[in-house]
């Protein structure tokens, strides 16, 4: 059985529109997850090691203030479009749209005030919580009134995140959760002793602004071949990689499938990622630099966490040969990602 409780986490600053931010606590016998109504943020996720002890395995902050200041999307739901859109521009049905540029020459994770920075309306479910918001036509430059539902449900060791959306005008959409994981426990120095595997035989090479070049490249014989588990630290050294921030191309199927696995051998904690999405961005916290103080006032240095963001391929709205990025009126966007936690 999953127990669901709610409490007030804090009050939004007046200049941000005010309003109470609530925290929803979902608890099973093996996982406890805390989710905020601000940005649908996963603020904490405690899971057992093989010794039976719980540890919080996601980066974040102890107070609301941390989340209302600038931070690298810790635990947030990002949208309307996760990842980057080249030059913040795209065309739909012959009309060009210009978005805010917040990542060099590109638009990233929905723009200046994306889904991560707004309050959502919560509804408690027997085993989770559903958040709703209406993103108005023209918000951050995107067309159409977009109704969005993000639902978190917990069952034993499995956390499911379902994303649904409907629009009044054709709009690009790609939603993901941007949790930063360290299975040794958040605040641990690095992720080099984690074992990672990703079920993908191709990935997207990027230019120096992190926009896919358009090539779909094979992973074979490269440092991007993660089809068999690799120990991250040794693997980065072997291939002289500074880290990962790349989209891996998944089997194109609408069905649930296992796409990635992370294991921390010293504690026995493991996490599987299952999804219906066509891509997964593997990011190794390359831009963390120790300047942010997180939970327990611990600094978060480079490579102290990883993200496995299930999503559409980056810049798909400008690349016709990438999976379709557009949602049209009368259709429904509906994707689910499952995070399965265990210890062995």
H or E, element range at 67: helix 64-68
Distance, CA of 73 to CA of 65 (rounded, Å):
14
**The domain at 3-343 falls in which architecture?**
Distorted Sandwich (2.70)
Mean pLDDT, to the nearest integer, of 302-330? Answer: 97
CA–CA separation, 187 vs 292, rounded Å?
11
Report the C-alpha gap between 293 and 54 in whole angstroms. 22
Tens digit of pLDDT for each residue in 180-192? Answer: 999 999 999 999 9
Q: Quick one: pLDDT at residue 8?
A: 97
**To the nearest whole number, what is the mean pLDDT of the chain?**
97
Please provide residue 96's backbone torsions phi and psi, each rounded to the nearest 5 degrees.
Answer: -95, 140
> What would the mean pLDDT of 145-166 be, rounded to a whole number?
98
Say what the pLDDT of residue 252 is: 84
pLDDT at 254: 82
Tell me how crowded residue 198 is: count the other CB atoms within 10 A of its CB. Answer: 25
CA–CA gap between residue 56 and residue 33 (Å, rounded): 9
The per-residue pLDDT for 301 is 97
- Residue ranges for the known binding site for beta-D-galactose are 83-84, 178-180, 245
Judged against a pLDDT cut of 90, whether residue 103 lies above it is answered with: no
Contact 36, 28 (CB under 8 A): no
> N- to C-terminal Cα distance for the chain?
22
Answer positive or negative: Cα dihedral of 136, 137, 143, 148.
Answer: positive
Please write the tens of the pLDDT for every residue from 255-307: 999 999 999 999 999 999 999 999 999 999 999 999 999 999 999 999 999 99
C-alpha span between 322 and 11 (Å, rounded) = 41
pLDDT average, residue stretch 231-260: 96
Contact 97, 91 (CB under 8 A): yes
Q: Is the pLDDT of residue 130 over 90?
A: yes
pLDDT of residue 17: 84
Q: What is the mean pLDDT of residues 60-85?
A: 96
The model's pTM is 0.97
> Residues 134-151: what's their mean pLDDT?
97
Catalytic site positions = 178, 309
**Backbone phi, psi, residue 66, to 5°:** -60, -40
- State the CB neighbour count (10 A cutoff) for residue 316: 25
Helices (H), 187-252: 232-238
Q: Residue 52: which pLDDT band, with cuts at 50, 70 and 90? A: very high
The region, left, alpha or beta by phi > 0 then psi within -120 to 50, assigned to residue 69 is beta
Average pLDDT over residues 5-28: 95
Q: What is the pLDDT of residues 31-48, one digit of tens each?
A: 999 999 999 999 999 999
- Give the start-to-end residue ranges of the domains of the chain: 3-343
Task: Give the CA angle between residues 116, 138, 173 to the nearest 5°.
Answer: 55
CA atoms within 13 A on the CB side of 31: 30
Q: What is the pLDDT of residue 258?
A: 98
Mean pLDDT within 109-129: 96
* Per-residue pLDDT reduced to its tens digit, 197-208: 999 999 999 999
Q: What pLDDT is recorded for position 289?
A: 96
Which whole number is the average pLDDT over 335-339?
98
pLDDT band at 129 (very low <50, low <70, confident <90, very high): very high
């Amino acid at each position: 059985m999953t127990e669901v409780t709610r409490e007030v986490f804090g009050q939004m600053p007046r200049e941000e529109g005010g309003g109470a931010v609530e925290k929803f606590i979902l608890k099973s016998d093996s996982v406890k997850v805390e989710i905020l109504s601000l940005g649908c943020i996963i603020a904490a996720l405690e899971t057992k090691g093989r010794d039976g002890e719980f540890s919080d395995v996601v980066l974040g902050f102890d107070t609301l203030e941390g989340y209302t200041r600038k931070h690298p999307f810790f635990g947030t739901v990002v949208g309307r479009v996760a990842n980057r859109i080249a030059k913040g521009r795209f065309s739909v049905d012959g009309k060009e749209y210009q978005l805010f540029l917040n990542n060099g020459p590109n638009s990233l994770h929905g723009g200046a005030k994306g889904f991560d920075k707004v309050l959502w309306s919560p509804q408690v479910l027997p085993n989770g919580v559903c958040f709703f918001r209406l993103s108005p036509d023209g918000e951050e430059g995107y067309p159409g009134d977009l109704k969005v539902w993000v639902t978190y449900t917990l069952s034993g060791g499995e956390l499911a995140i379902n994303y649904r959306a409907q629009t009044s005008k054709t709009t690009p959409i790609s939603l993901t959760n941007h949790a930063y994981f360290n299975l040794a426990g958040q605040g641990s120095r690095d992720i080099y002793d984690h074992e990672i595997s990703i079920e993908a035989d191709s990935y997207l090479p990027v230019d120096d602004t992190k926009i896919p070049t358009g090539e779909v490249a094979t992973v074979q014989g490269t440092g991007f071949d993660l089809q068999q588990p690799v120990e991250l630290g040794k693997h980065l050294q072997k291939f002289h990689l500074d880290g990962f921030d790349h989209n891996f191309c998944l089997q194109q199927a609408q069905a649930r499938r296992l796409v990635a696995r992370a294991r921390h051998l010293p504690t026995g904690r493991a996490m599987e990622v299952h999804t219906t999405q066509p891509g997964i961005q593997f990011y190794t916290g390359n831009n963390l630099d120790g300047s942010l103080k997180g939970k327990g006032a611990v600094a978060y240095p480079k490579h102290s966490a990883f993200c496995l963001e299930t999503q559409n391929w980056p810049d798909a709205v400008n690349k016709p040969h990438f999976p379709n990025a557009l949602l049209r009126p009368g259709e429904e966007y509906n994707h689910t990602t499952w995070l399965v936690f265990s210890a062995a």
